[in-house]
Structure 1
Amino acid sequence: MRQQPTTVPSRMSPKWLSPTFRLLCIDWRRNVTNSITVVENHIDQQKVAPVYILWGREQWAKKKIVGSLKRHLVSEGMEAFNYEHYYAADTQAVTVLDSCLTMPMMADRKFIQVEECQKWDVKQRKKITEYFKNPSADTCLVLDFDVDKVGKFGNFFNSSSSSIHILPCQKPKINELPAYIGRLAAETGLKLDQDALAVLADFTGDDIELMQRELDKLKLYKWGNDQVKVEDVEALTGRTRHVNSWEIQKTISGRNTSECLMKVKDILDSGESAIVLLNIISRYISQLLQVKGLLARGVKDRYQISQNMGMGTPVFVVSALMKEHTSFSSIELRAALKTAAITDDMLKGSQLANFSLIARLITSLLAVSRYTPDSVK
């Protein structure tokens, strides 16, 4: 049977969330804070496991887990002897296993970290799974898979050994953000009302490191009072924030002109650069056009589309684009890219208000015309 990731329930439960938000609460297996808690508990109890398998694309959680283990296991000045760091693409499995079976120097354990393990082929992975049957008690091996799903890696994630701990490190989905932040806030000792959750989600996007940083600031700001309202979040975050691409993409793909223009105005009023915002919009339009073109040429597999698009376009982004491209025709998207180029020139040299220029692009893109797909008319 597939081993379920070890989890440690928090003492605090977000009972104060509305039924709607509680329905959105993330499966415990997706909650990166549980993975961090598992490792921290192992360290506190002096029961660090021989093998940890990390998977997902949330880098902050992975860095926190690896950092905690390294500080605990590797003494200062002994890193050259008791810590080894590999990339699977450049390293044979046998090299890693030889390191695992080498005794530590003047320490109880060695710490070995292998990144991008998804790049090992089946033969290499099989050698590692053989090691799982009898892992060295003198080594802590961390294997990192930078993937969204693990089904195709078979036995790597089917181990029934108590020595192997599988720890998910995934980013929350867009519609999970308020509930996710609510859970994270509860673990920080804060209770955010629904408006505060929405505003903080709008501010941070899926950047978990930023979420935690803002919650820590709120904890200090509300010293002695765990009730956080939207006014507190706005006062602390101010109006300066990064543009989260999904904010704009959601309204564009839904062809919701009024909502999109409101979002544009809010972002520009916060002090964000109009050029940065235009680049985000232009990139999204270009990605939609790329996906539409690849699908038309018969490329249906999202992994192949991801590779063809280049520039490290994640598979989960491609999956969203494969659904969203149907909202527009190729003619509309090509026309929008031309308008975006004109808008870029005007932003750099025109006296017109930035909002007016961006709004012109948005309204021309989202306006229904004879080229608009029938499915969205």
Structure 2
Amino acid sequence: MINYDVYEQEILKGNIKNGYVFCGLDEEFIKDGIDLIVKKEVPEEFKELNLIRIDGMNTNYDEIMNACETMPFMGDKKVVIIYRANFLQDKSDSSGTKIYNEIKNYVSDLPPYTILIMYYLLNDKRDRPNKNKKLATLGKFLHVVHFDKLKKDKYIKKVEGVFKEKGKQIGRVELAYFCEKVQNNFDIIKREADKLINYCNDREIKKADIDLLMASSSEDDVFDLVELIAIKKIDKAIDIMKEILYKSDQHMLIISSIQKHFLRLYEIKLKLAKGKRVDDFVAEYRLPQFVCEKLISQTSRFSERQLAELVKLCVNTETKLKSTGIDKTMEMEFLLINTLMVKK
């Protein structure tokens, strides 16, 4: 298994193999990695014929095999992409296991004119692809690439490339500030870049514009934490809470942020019942539309009663944190465990 840096260098050297398996959390990042091969191997005028995309969640072995066996049209190579190939996950259903076993036997002898690329998305940041036995087996025949987070300099350079592709220059100071504020996910990065470019139009981007339009990374952490509470994955929620505390050892600030988030979800839940829509929340909360859409989606995981009780739990925990001589981290863990007791 190799990382993105090694993979990128190999592609730039022209050292392109016949088969790849990509995995990571960031689908846009993976798509950018695929484009490195596509741009080198498939001329624009032949993309409709020599570039095949197959939905890995709705396919079968015969469809994949037939796509790989068909000769390229007026070219030396064709690229077959199996996106969201969930049958590559360490655990899959019976149909996924069947496809995987058939693919495993096939990829040992791919046609020389075919470049097969399969990718799947990791469940979360604690999902370790190096422990996936399926990848270890496929790695004997295909190159497995983990699209992990880029190192700081590479990350900033790639984000700068996003602005350049959109025809917009951004200053070095503003670029570094943008990278600090934005979530390390290229789907979000591209959307945030679009917002900034459209908002600033022909003038240069300033730090004040970034502050105005972007949610903070701490808000993203709290959103992820609440999402795990909603699906009752408390062990993972505790892991995220510890990561937040590691970045900012401020228990009162974190409990206050969680409380405000539950309170906002409660408010949105009530207003949705009265007929409010996403545009109303964009105007009221002065948040980007996609953030409001995420909040609306998250409210569906809770009842009004649940949200009210969760706010009370946060208030009680905040009161305890103000006391002296207590283990604050343990109190935060108790809060997360107690959310399991709140019924709909």
User: TM-score of the superposition, structure 1-length normalised?
Assistant: 0.50
Question: Are positions 1:127 and 2:67 aligned together?
Answer: no
State the secondary structure of the residue aligned to 2:76: coil
Query: Sequence identity of aligned pairs in percent?
Result: 11
Partner of 1:8: none
Describe how 1:1-377 pairs up with structure 2 within 5 A.
4-5=1-2, 29=3, 32-42=4-14, 47-119=15-87, 121-147=96-122, 148-150=127-129, 153-159=132-138, 161=140, 164-171=142-149, 180-185=151-156, 199-208=177-186, 210=189, 239-244=211-216, 246-248=217-219, 287=227, 289-291=229-231, 294=232, 320=240, 336=263, 340=267, 365=314, 368-369=318-319, 375-376=327-328
Whether the 8 Å CA contact 1:286–1:333 is kept in 2: the answer is no
**Over residues 53-95 of structure 1, what are the superposed CA-to-partner deviations in whole Å (9 max), with x where a residue is unaligned?**
1100222322222223223222343334322110112110232
Q: Are the structure 2 counterparts of residues 286 and 59 from structure 1 closer, same or farther at C-alpha, using a change threshold of 3 Å?
A: closer
* CA–CA distance in structure 2, aligned partners of residues 102 and 286 of structure 1: 48
Deviation at residue 102 of structure 1 after TM alignment: 2.1
Deviation at residue 288 of structure 1 after TM alignment: 6.1
**Over residues 126-178 of structure 1, what are the superposed CA-to-partner deviations in whole Å (9 max), with x where a residue is unaligned?**
221212322221100110111143356423334454x6222211346xxxxxx
**Over residues 297-341 of structure 1, what are the superposed CA-to-partner deviations in whole Å (9 max), with x where a residue is unaligned?**
xxx786xxxxxxxxxxxxxx79626988x987xxx7998468756
Structure 1 segments, 4+ long, off by >4 Å, are: 185-188, 195-198, 232-238, 283-286, 321-324, 332-345, 364-367, 370-375
One-letter amino acid of the structure 1 residue matched with residue 51 of structure 2: Y
**Over residues 322-374 of structure 1, what are the superposed CA-to-partner deviations in whole Å (9 max), with x where a residue is unaligned?**
988x987xxx79984687569989xx9xxxx99xxxxxxx9x95673269996
How many residue pairs align between the two structures? 251
Deviation at residue 286 of structure 1 after TM alignment: 5.1
Whether the 8 Å CA contact 2:225–2:241 is kept in 1: the answer is no
* CA–CA distance in structure 1, aligned partners of residues 262 and 182 of structure 2: 32
- Identify unmatched segments of 5+ residues in structure 1: 6-28, 173-179, 215-231, 254-282, 303-316, 355-361
* CA–CA distance in structure 2, aligned partners of residues 186 and 93 of structure 1: 39
State the secondary structure of the residue aligned to 1:243: coil
Whether the 8 Å CA contact 1:112–1:142 is kept in 2: the answer is yes
* CA–CA distance in structure 1, aligned partners of residues 186 and 322 of structure 2: 37
Q: Are the structure 2 counterparts of residues 247 and 78 from structure 1 closer, same or farther at C-alpha, using a change threshold of 3 Å?
A: same
User: TM-score of the superposition, structure 2-length normalised?
Assistant: 0.54
One-letter amino acid of the structure 1 residue matched with residue 136 of structure 2: F
State the secondary structure of the residue aligned to 2:218: helix
State the secondary structure of the residue aligned to 1:240: helix
Whether the 8 Å CA contact 2:22–2:147 is kept in 1: the answer is yes
State the secondary structure of the residue aligned to 2:43: coil
Whether the 8 Å CA contact 2:78–2:113 is kept in 1: the answer is yes
* CA–CA distance in structure 1, aligned partners of residues 42 and 99 of structure 2: 27
* CA–CA distance in structure 2, aligned partners of residues 74 and 198 of structure 1: 34
Deviation at residue 115 of structure 1 after TM alignment: 0.6
Partner of 1:225: none
Whether the 8 Å CA contact 1:60–1:208 is kept in 2: the answer is yes
* CA–CA distance in structure 2, aligned partners of residues 372 and 287 of structure 1: 26
